[in-house]
Structure 1
């Protein structure tokens, strides 16, 4: 009896292995068709911007709605002109912050006197300016204010993501023999100076998930009049001050200029408006860097290994269940699939709350898809048995 049981198990596991190969082959063909037929593009566009992990930020931001970051201050440039920006920079510098980050692109020369004054203000040792990578190369719109000793960083967040939702950023970009730093990394390095932990940079050559802590309301926001009407704002001393566009103080939530979609968007399914200003995204990145509060991503090889293992185990169980020809087979299959999906979504959210990102979407998709093909695999085995006397778990001597 024991030998028969062992033999049946060996045959079952062998059948599950062949079924897994069959399902992966079908999945590969479908994926190939999806990549090459434009019919699937709307579906791809609809889902690439959605992640159920965005649910986490709804809860997280509600818990931290009264917390305000005390290391990073935002200064709104709104619609002020270059003369006012120069005066604003002077007023900020007088408060002796550790770093002044300026997320403003000055596209061309306007007034020689004002431009020269602005250039001098932007070239102070504790100031970090910006530039951007475009499809045609590096946009050096700020070239007239640049010098050899200037500290600057690119404003791009991602170079590979096709999603319109800003979930990740690349801190370092290397082209040929030149290394470029992002605006956030340049500010963080300037903030720490000689105490900067350079080992962090090893993690930034590839895209890292942004650990969002707060939207606009989670930072102290100062307006032009707030700084120009105050002789001293001691709270800014030795802190990070970021200048950028934050819209009108009263109607900023309706403003779409320099706004992006992020996981903090309260409406994460369906159509919605961009929710976060670029300077706020930079502030979250900087906060993540200076606190070393990274989200650790589970390696792809681990995801692949877990997918293979779970697919194999699931197929073994459902092939065994299918062979028993139970009337409740389909019901059990559907119930267990739902439980599996719910469990993995809950499990991934639990890990995400503990700063671990596990991409469970491919695991769920492959496992659910594989067990759904058991019926088709059984028909293939039936054909092979009839045509070539194929033996296996479904057809044994």
Structure 2
């Protein structure tokens, strides 16, 4: 049975970008940390190192800061980012070419993200504005790391994707900061400002932000019109806009159309085959999660369960522990008498007893981070500290 008109206002509006973009999966943190340590020990991190080794080492430190933050150790994650920047500064002082400074960009951005996690937007914002310095070829100070104006060409040679990284960060991080509050006026103001400040080729996220802002305000007709004309760069982008269309249709009480559209999206996502080591799996999992919520709003528990089970299938090979917990909880809520329910319950208990993610493991929260002693987290921080002190 479809929901009544009085229920349609409850349609869940996404609080995040659902289209296709680079986002990390979240596997078991301790295993992930050990894998990163192995990679770190296999590469040269000194000023004489091959650029490929330095790129691998820098990627390890970037992911290490994510791991520490996910485990609730925000202060230690900030410390690791500072060590990362100090390592890059030491490499440059010790004779590495100016191109090495490209490795300071991501830890500087990550520092801003950590401040944003603390809801300190004032301190976070400057970390997302490097694109402006780059476009004007101006010098920048990234903590202990100095970027002179004449370093930008060498940095661009070292990483031709640098403009893409800087402008997408500028647009996406400012947009994410406004989406979290669910204030439509704030989101639309942010989108309007970003359209003025960001070159058109990096407007990919702004249309989705505008649609979400309109949905937050209950302006479903306008949101549907914008979604219908939105440029999609992939099938997953089309799916993201389709999910927002379903939300708008539910808000308007056009539940039959909403269900028809949602069924089509489920058929697409159920047959999607995320490529290993790509951004596909995080996108599909986030979209399946939101589609399940929409199916529940449409009083379609069987379809919501199908979305959750497809999510669990993907997590079996490309795991994301926080989303796996959400899918297991949905399955148990919707089908507690299913023959697989005891196994789902066992999996959920095990996950909540063993995961190191804040919000997944029992008892972990912003003021109660994951255990520290005896974990590979300590080794990651020590490796970063040694690199900062010795240049490798």
The structure with more strand, counted as a fraction of residues: 1
Please indicate, yes or no, whether the TM-score normalized by the shorter chain is above 0.5: no
Larger-gyration structure (1/2): 1
Report the TM-score range of the alignment, normalised by the length of the smaller protein. Answer: under 0.3
